[in-house]
Structure 1
């Protein structure tokens, strides 16, 4: 990380931050992407089961790991202020928080998943696959959360290329393990969709061990001696992490859980509709990695500039990131609209599933602009450590506006399952508008 003076220098640094984060996010997302894609090749019940299991897993994981995202602005501001010892202590306490959260979610998910699934109208095979998928995924919770904290630490130092390299190395391994456990190759059990969960849990442990070695041995991380002189629990640091992290986690949970809620509410429709919905959601989530990566990058850059007291530079980085995300949104919308049929064909040869998926992808193309605005704006607000109002806006936008509108259209109009996607468009648009207004208020306040 370093200070910049011109727009060209700022954009160059911005790309140096964002491109490795993007590759990392895509590589991490490809784990889930190939879980669903390869399960779809095994059978439609496996696709539906893994889709339901993933829809439960992702918002819970995203919400709780979002709490750990507090490490990024905390460390970036401390590094910007030249307080490296404090940065080390913050990360160590973050690791304690990660273990605590992982244990809580492990116990909660492991024992409640059967009850959650029983509330849905699922076919027996889909219920069984979803339950087993969640159970085996729980085995990777602790290493996944610990890796997340260490990744936030490395990214906050501006070393986003390192996490990129780690995930690039491990993603192909996950695909190979998927092939082995889903289809039962080389004497391993043929587990179908459940095998995708086994492969992913193993991959999470692999990522964790590689990251520990790099932080302990490689420049510039080794100078922090992160795994030496472990402190006692420091409740003041826990308080700072939680005060920043809990609103971030709730905001992320509100955003991701609305998609999962829609998936679960679609359990009243046929298995073909559930599968088609998940196909569209799975591919658009891959495209979302770009604005999400920009969001993570702008948190680091804004946090660093705020820590150094350069508020004007922080504001410029915010607008550069938003503009970049909007440009990409037009590209991604065109991809979804023009190539919707080939995209759907990647997942399935079932004519009924294919027809629904093509229609869902049209609606997915519509909300690309809203997604592109709200993600980097949230990232910039995190860099300012402004998170409380953000999560309130997120809840209102997604749960008070988005989901009720979707339910009303799906239940009381001829839109049917497509009504839920119109609701998603409404919620994301409301979120983008209100969050941008909040960013303007915060920037005006810190500049005065």
Structure 2
């Protein structure tokens, strides 16, 4: 195999992916900052944010899935050179993500009573409720931002959302410091302060990105608002047709990780806090895969628009190879620093001991987690979403969850057993999705060759 034909694309891939990585890491950093600052209040408080966020991220995953449909459609229209089509997709997509944000907020409020029936420690639930209520409403500005972000990403302009998330984190750090611990004229609000800081910073993020896009000439034609007569059910259906299965993919994966939080919670506040630490660290490296996956979506979508399937396959495989190299580095890092990293969050020795053992498994699944995310990005660029949704369901819920439950609860391995189940799910997902992508691209090349 001539590796050069793949490695030569690393520079182009990273040029697109790096701002998305930074932006994704910025989103995660909002929660990570909350956890680090809240973790200093105690393990009960850290477990409470974990519980509140576990439900929030299930709802968010649905919204994100729909928003991800915008990027490949914009990338394809950009490859075709059809700006009016791109404008229509963007405007319909932004309306849809706003409606979804409001719907997810209502759903989260309706789901609030569920927190009392998840077999979680009572003291954790009592602290989680007020945090959860404020975080829930922040999904509205976050989904509006997603509509703007995915549009800009589809045009290969990935740096603007990165700037927005950098600003968000600056605002979030300052507000968290003031509102969690109390500073100057600000009261000490602890978990409620963390939630308020996140909510306000997400509003700032939306306004910043909107203003930037409005001022750039490149986006002028796209930002011209659609008239009522230009709204078409067909356009909404196209986005929903692509977005709904993508939302299911996100839901299946995020749902499994949320289930791991709840399973850990049944073991007590300390195992739940340790589980949250390991999840946050693994999620941080996963954001690198999100960036590479988005680059794969954009570049595959462009080549699909050009109908250049040989080049499409080569570019996609260059992204697969790139993520394997990057994630292998993180695997080594998790193994080497497993006893050091948990100290970022807590000085509780019992929590640190549990978290350290979980980071061994987190290190092992870096490769499969990263690879499955990037392959999904490539399939999204092909606008192939239905079969991948089925494959992810099988991997996470037919294989992964039963292993998590059996090893964690029945076999008595606790959180370590839960994470073995996560490793099994991600590995199966990566293998099945790779076979799907390989089959589809070979089929497209064969069909084009037969036509010519």
> Could you tell me the TM-score, scaled by structure 1's length?
0.96
**1:279-294 alignment, distance < 5 Å:** 279-294=277-292
Task: Name the stretch that deviates more: 405-414 or 69-78.
Answer: 405-414
Structure 2 residue aligned with 1:250: 248
Structure 2 residue aligned with 1:406: 404
Matched, 1:43 2:32: no
Give 1:194 deviation, angstroms: 2.2
Structure 1 residue aligned with 2:378: 380
CA distance in 1, matches of 2:8, 2:209: 30
Evaluate the alpha carbon distance shift between residue 166 and residue 231 of structure 1 in structure 2; reply closer, same or farther with a 3 A threshold.
Answer: farther
> Do 2:309 and 2:444's aligned partners in 1 also have CA atoms closer than 8 Å?
yes
Give 1:228 deviation, angstroms: 5.9
Q: Which residue of the other structure, out of 420, 430, 437, is the alignment partner of 2:428?
A: 430
Structure 2 residue aligned with 1:3: none
Q: Which residue of the other structure, out of 156, 180, 183, is the alignment partner of 2:181?
A: 183
Q: Which residue of the other structure, out of 304, 307, 310, is the alignment partner of 1:306?
A: 304
> Do 1:216 and 1:226's aligned partners in 2 also have CA atoms closer than 8 Å?
no
Give 1:226 deviation, angstroms: 3.6
> Do 2:21 and 2:288's aligned partners in 1 also have CA atoms closer than 8 Å?
yes
CA distance in 2, matches of 1:346, 1:289: 19
Structure 1 residue aligned with 2:392: 394
**1:269-288 alignment, distance < 5 Å:** 269-288=267-286
Structure 2 residue aligned with 1:352: 350
Structure 2 residue aligned with 1:161: 159
Evaluate the alpha carbon distance shift between residue 180 and residue 66 of structure 1 in structure 2; reply closer, same or farther with a 3 A threshold.
Answer: same
> Do 2:278 and 2:355's aligned partners in 1 also have CA atoms closer than 8 Å?
yes
Structure 2 residue aligned with 1:129: 127
Evaluate the alpha carbon distance shift between residue 326 and residue 52 of structure 1 in structure 2; reply closer, same or farther with a 3 A threshold.
Answer: same
Structure 1 spans left out of the alignment, 5+ residues = 1-5
> Do 2:245 and 2:386's aligned partners in 1 also have CA atoms closer than 8 Å?
yes
Root-mean-square deviation (CA), in Å? 1.6
> Do 2:59 and 2:108's aligned partners in 1 also have CA atoms closer than 8 Å?
no
> Do 1:50 and 1:194's aligned partners in 2 also have CA atoms closer than 8 Å?
no
Matched, 1:148 2:117: no
Structure 1 residue aligned with 2:66: 67
> Do 1:92 and 1:230's aligned partners in 2 also have CA atoms closer than 8 Å?
no
Give 1:447 deviation, angstroms: 1.1
Structure 1 residue aligned with 2:215: 217
CA distance in 1, matches of 2:184, 2:98: 35
CA distance in 2, matches of 1:8, 1:337: 27
Give 1:9 deviation, angstroms: 6.2
Evaluate the alpha carbon distance shift between residue 95 and residue 230 of structure 1 in structure 2; reply closer, same or farther with a 3 A threshold.
Answer: farther
The alignment covers a number of residue pairs equal to 443
> Do 2:242 and 2:383's aligned partners in 1 also have CA atoms closer than 8 Å?
yes
Evaluate the alpha carbon distance shift between residue 352 and residue 148 of structure 1 in structure 2; reply closer, same or farther with a 3 A threshold.
Answer: same
> Do 2:179 and 2:193's aligned partners in 1 also have CA atoms closer than 8 Å?
yes
Give 1:231 deviation, angstroms: 5.2
Moved over 4 A (4+): 6-9, 228-232
Evaluate the alpha carbon distance shift between residue 416 and residue 9 of structure 1 in structure 2; reply closer, same or farther with a 3 A threshold.
Answer: closer
Structure 2 spans left out of the alignment, 5+ residues = 447-452
Give 1:366 deviation, angstroms: 1.1
Structure 1 residue aligned with 2:93: 94
Give 1:437 deviation, angstroms: 0.4
Give 1:218 deviation, angstroms: 1.4
Structure 1 residue aligned with 2:78: 79
CA distance in 2, matches of 1:317, 1:226: 33
Task: Name the stretch that deviates more: 316-325 or 261-270.
Answer: 261-270
CA distance in 2, matches of 1:227, 1:233: 10
Structure 1 residue aligned with 2:16: 17
